[in-house]
Amino acid sequence: GRAVAWLAWFAPLGGPITIGLVGRPDIFMKGLDLAFGAIAELARRGGPGVVWLFPIAAKHRPAIERLLVESGAASFVELIDPPADADLPALYRRLDALLVASRFEGGPYTMLEAMACGTPVVATPVGLVPDVIEDGVNGIRVSATDSVPALVEGIERFLALSPEARAEMGGRAREIIGRNHDAEHHFARLRAILHEVA
């Protein structure tokens, strides 16, 4: 319930690594079947403890819960209430990383939001990902889309990082968003394009 969600967002840092899945509940586009398959495979392999948080509205939970059971990931993913927009930064900052397993994307804008909050992203090479994530520097760029083994490999590379390296990666993530993807930067580019066309 909502109390569990608030505890999850604001629990003290330390302990298990916390990775989030944030986005619309479009199972195919967002690659949720792939993400859950990767989570189940990582659990079978052992390794560092990971808390997986997925904010999802109650009306979408039955389909997600069925998929979690089918994939074998039901014991490892905690479904929490979606935050209000004003609370999103607190959720992103609570995470050690955000996983984006999408098969295709226009953005993903959750990647930009998380990185702006200093949260590294492990993402498939879709949409803006190749332009934004420098692999191993400000995030982890998964080697392929539509591939559970590629997701597992990308997540394992992130989990192998020290806490200091993860923090440094988050700082670089925030830096690139501030430098290249803030609203004023985009407005300036748009003004220049419109001026050139005029």
- State pLDDT tens for residues 17-39: 999 998 778 899 999 999 999 99
pLDDT at 107: 83
Distances (CA, A) of 113 to 44, 56, 73: 31, 17, 26
Distances (CA, A) of 110 to 21, 41, 100, 127: 9, 24, 8, 12
| CB within 8 Å of 37: residues ≥ 6 apart | 71, 72, 73, 148, 151
**How does pLDDT run across 92-101, given as a tens digit for each residue?**
999 999 999 9
Cα torsion angle, 24, 142, 170, 99, sign: positive
Determine if the peptide bond prior to 82 is cis (ω within 30°): no
pLDDT at 99: 97
Round to whole Å and give the CA distance between 155 and 197: 44
Round to whole Å and give the CA distance between 78 and 9: 12
Round to whole Å and give the CA distance between 104 and 194: 29
pLDDT at 1: 37
pLDDT at 179: 75
**Segments of the chain scoring below 50 in pLDDT:** 1-13, 183, 186-187, 190
157-195 in b/e burial notation, b at 16+ Cβ within 10 A?
A: bbbebeeeebeebbebbbebbeeebeeeeeeeeeeeeee
